[in-house]
A and B are shown apart, each in its own frame.
Chain A
Amino acid sequence: MFDWPTLVESLPLLAKSLLVTLESSLAGLGIGFVIGVLVCSLRLSLHPLWRRLGGAYIFVFRGIPLLVQLLFIYYFLPRIGLPNVSPLAAAITGLSLAAGAYIAEILRGGFLAIPEGQLEAAHMLGLSPLDVLVRIQVPQAVRLTLPALINEMILLIKASSLISVVGLAELTRTAQNIAASNYLFLQTYLVLALFYCLINIPLACAGGLLERRLKRRLA
Chain B
Amino acid sequence: MTVTKTHRPALALRGVGKRFGSNQVLHNIDLEVQSSEVVCLIGPSGSGKSTLLRSMAFLEEYDDGEVFIEGQLLGWEPGLPRKRTSRAHLNKVRSTIGMVFQQFNLWPHMSVLGNVTEALIRVRRIASGEARQRGLAMLEKVGLAHKADAYPAQLSGGQQQRVAIARALAMEPHIMLFDEPTSALDPELVGEVLHVMKQLAADGMTMVVVTHEMGFAAQVADTVVFLDQGQIVARGSPQKLFHMTQHPRLQQFLQNYLDRNAFWQDMKEEATA
Complex Cα distance, B129 from A208, in Å, reads 34
Given contacts A135-B122, A217-B153, contact A124 B99 (CB under 8 A): yes
Q: CB distance A117 to B99 under 8 Å?
A: no
Instruction: Determine how close the nearest CB of chain B comes to the CB of A114; give it in whole angstroms.
Output: 9
> Is B108's CB within 8 Å of the partner chain A?
yes
What distance in Å separates the Cβ of A99 from its nearest Cβ neighbour in chain B?
24
Q: Is the CB of A127 within 8 A of B151?
A: no
CB distance from B156 to the nearest CB of A (A): 15
Interface size on A, residues (CB 8 A): 22
Indicate if the CB atoms of A218 and B109 lie closer than 8 Å: yes
Q: Are A117 and B167 in contact (CB under 8 A)?
A: no
Across the interface, which residues of B come within 8 angstroms of A129, CB to CB? 87
Shortest C-beta distance, A79 to chain B (Å), equals 43
B87: chain A residues within 8 A (beta carbon)? 128-129
Report the bound CA distance from A198 to B167 in whole Å. Answer: 46
Evaluate contact between A127 and B105: CB separation under 8 angstroms: no
In the bound complex, CA of A127 to CA of B122 (Å): 7
Closest CB in chain A relative to B54 CB, distance in Å: 9
Interchain nearest-CB distance for B163 vs A (Å): 11
* B91 proximity list for chain A (CB < 8 A): 126
Q: Which B residues are CB-close (under 8 A) to A217?
A: 109, 151, 153
Q: Given A121-B101, A217-B151, A218-B153, are A136 and B59 also a contact pair (CB < 8 Å)?
A: no
With known contacts A136-B107, A140-B108, A218-B108, A124–B59 Cβ distance under 8 A: yes
Knowing A124-B98, A125-B119, A140-B109 touch, does A117 contact B153 (C-beta < 8 A)? no
With known contacts A117-B101, A120-B59, A218-B153, A125–B168 Cβ distance under 8 A: yes
A118 interface contact, C-beta 8 A: yes
Interchain CB contact under 8 A, B59 and A218: no
CB-CB nearest in chain A for B92: A126
Give how many B residues have a beta carbon under 8 Å from the other chain's beta carbons: 26
Q: How far is the CB of B109 from chain A (nearest CB, A)?
A: 5
Partner of A124, one of B57, B107, B118: B57
The reply to whether the CB of B95 lies closer than 8 angstroms to some CB of chain A is yes
Known: A120-B101, A217-B151, A218-B109. A125 touches B118 (CB 8 A): yes
Encode B81-112 as 1/0 by CB contact (under 8 A) with A. 00000010001001101110101011111000
Classify the interface of chain A: helix, strand, loop or mixed: helix
A115 → B minimal CB distance (Å): 7
Rounded to whole Å, the gap between the CB of A144 and the closest CB of chain B is: 10
Are A125 and B109 closer than 8 Å at their CB atoms? no
In the complex with contacts A124-B57, A124-B94, A218-B153, A118-B105 CB distance below 8 A? yes
A111 nearest CB across to chain B (Å): 14
Determine whether the beta carbon of A135 is less than 8 Å from that of B171: no
In the complex, whether B273 has a CB less than 8 A from a CB of chain A is no
A184-219 interface code vs B (CB 8 A; 1 in, 0 out): 000000000000000000000000000000000111
Q: How far is the CB of A33 from chain B (nearest CB, A)?
A: 17
B108 touches A126 (CB 8 A): no
A131 close to chain B: CB less than 8 A: yes
Task: Decide if B127 is an interface residue (CB 8 Å cutoff).
Answer: no
Contact B153 A219 (CB under 8 A): yes
Q: Which residue of A lies closest to B103 (CB)?
A: A117
| Partner pick for A115 among B105, B109, B168, CB 8 A cutoff | B105
A139 to B109, CA, bound (A): 8
Closest to A123 in B: B59
Q: Is A158 an interface residue (CB 8 A)?
A: no
Most chain B beta carbons < 10 A, residue from A135, A136, A219: A135
Cα(A123)–Cα(B108), bound, Å: 16
B171's contact among A115, A123, A125, by CB below 8 Å, is which? A125
Whether A121 contacts B122 by the Cβ 8 Å rule is no
CA distance A143 to B59 in the complex (A): 27
B109→A127 contact, CB < 8 A: no
Across the A-B interface, give the 9 residue pairs with the lowest CB-CB distance, nearest first. A125-B119, A117-B105, A121-B105, A126-B123, A124-B99, A126-B91, A131-B122, A118-B105, A139-B109
Which residues in B have some Cβ–Cβ distance to A below 8 Å? 57, 59, 87, 91, 94-95, 97-99, 101, 103, 105-109, 118-119, 122-123, 151, 153, 164, 167-168, 171
A-B contact pairs, 8 of them (CB 8 A): A118-B105, A120-B101, A124-B99, A125-B171, A127-B119, A128-B123, A131-B122, A140-B108
